[in-house]
Amino acid sequence: MYRIVTKRALHETVTLMEVEAPYIAKKAKPGQFIIFRVDEDGERVPLTVAGTDPVRGTVTIIFQKVGYSTKRLDCLNEGDSILDFVGPLGVASHLDGMKKVAVIGGGLGVAIAYPQAKALHDMGAEVDVIVGFRNTDLMILMDELKEASTNLYVMTDDGSNGHKGFVTTALEEQLKAGKEYDHVIAIGPLVMMRAVVNITKPRNIPTVISMNPIMVDGTGMCGSCRVTVGGEMKFACVDGPDFDGFAVDWDEAIARSKMYRKEEAESMERKACNLLNVELQTKRGGN
């Protein structure tokens, strides 16, 4: 059992938790992920490691409450325990040699981009962090991102923070202003990452993307995270999740990301009553 040390709502639909997992905390590196299972009836769900504290023996995860398992996890509180918490899994990000980098995160991808930016900043790299949200109510990790960046650019779809546009808008502006990057790291929705690649590829700026959005079981057995990279079949959870953005077959990856939507909706509908009961118990002080 893995005890929840800290629980904090980042906004209405996103939660941060620190989980006591000392062995994972000692070994996990940026880009890797864990798999959790709330209880014996729970699904196995992969989540990227958002941070670690080897001294305290904790691993930070950030998740959006979109399905049964994440909503069930959010019903737990500090002091409660998670049945399974396995990791670190996946291949750690290769950050050595990067000197001037743009780290780009969209939506919840910001939580995954943060540890990359922090690691690069701690290594002495010049790091421009570009993040995008639909509006100011959905913005997360602003203080942490400021500390992990040389320059921070925040965009909102509706312009509610004074900077209207997408992450690609800010990237284009920096490149047109003469900013030179030796690498770009993009993490977020697949369509966003493809849009970033469409900007960087003609300029020949090496671009690393993360295929964590298409992972399901985290071991390569389910096959949903198959992605063609450079004409070869790869598994995001085993060979990645980081890949060369220029080499990814984006049309195939985006189509694959939609393959379980029907099943996910049906599962959520079947378990809705159980989740409601759990939420009511939580409000009453139960587990």
Q: Is 125 a residue whose pLDDT tops 60?
A: yes
What is the CA 132 to chain-centroid distance, rounded?
13
Q: Token digits for 59?
A: 């691993």
Same-domain status, 70 and 124 = no
What type of residue sits at position 111? A
Residue 32 falls inside a structural domain: yes
109 and 165 assigned to the same domain: yes
Count other Cβ atoms within 10 Å, centred on residue 41: 10
The answer to the question of residue 95 being in a domain is no
Q: Using an 8 Å Cβ cutoff, are 48 and 112 in contact?
A: yes
Q: Can you name the residues that pair with 207 across neighbouring β-strands?
A: 184
- Reported as a pLDDT band with limits 50, 70 and 90, residue 45 is confident
CB-based contacts of 274: which residues, under 8 Å, 6+ apart? Answer: none
Q: What average pLDDT does this structure show over 234-242?
A: 85
The CATH number that applies at residue 22 is 2.40.30.10
Instruction: Report d(CA 207, CA 101) in Å as an integer.
Output: 10
Q: How many CA atoms lie within 13 A of 210 on its CB side?
A: 31
Q: Which of 87-96, 227-236, 257-266 has the weakest average pLDDT? A: 257-266
219 half-sphere exposure, CB direction, 13 A CA radius: 9
Residues 106, 244, single domain; the answer is yes
- Which of 94, 105, 82 has the alpha carbon at shortest distance from 35? 82
Task: Give the range of the structural domain holding residue 110, as residue numbers without chain letter.
Answer: 100-256
Supply the pLDDT for residue 24: 97
pLDDT number for residue 252? 87
pLDDT (0 to 100) of residue 60 = 95
- Element holding 29 (H helix, E strand): none
Same domain, 109 and 178: yes
Banded pLDDT at 120 (limits 50, 70, 90): very high
Mean predicted confidence (pLDDT) in 193-201? 97
Is beta strand 14-20 parallel, antiparallel or unpaired with respect to 84-89?
Answer: unpaired
Mean per-residue pLDDT, 61-66: 90
Residue 104 has a CB neighbour count (10 Å cut-off) of 32
Provide the pairing of β-strand 100-106 with 126-133. Answer: parallel
- CATH label of the domain that carries residue 167: 3.40.50.80
DSSP string, 193-215: HHHHHHHHTTTT--EEEE-GGG-
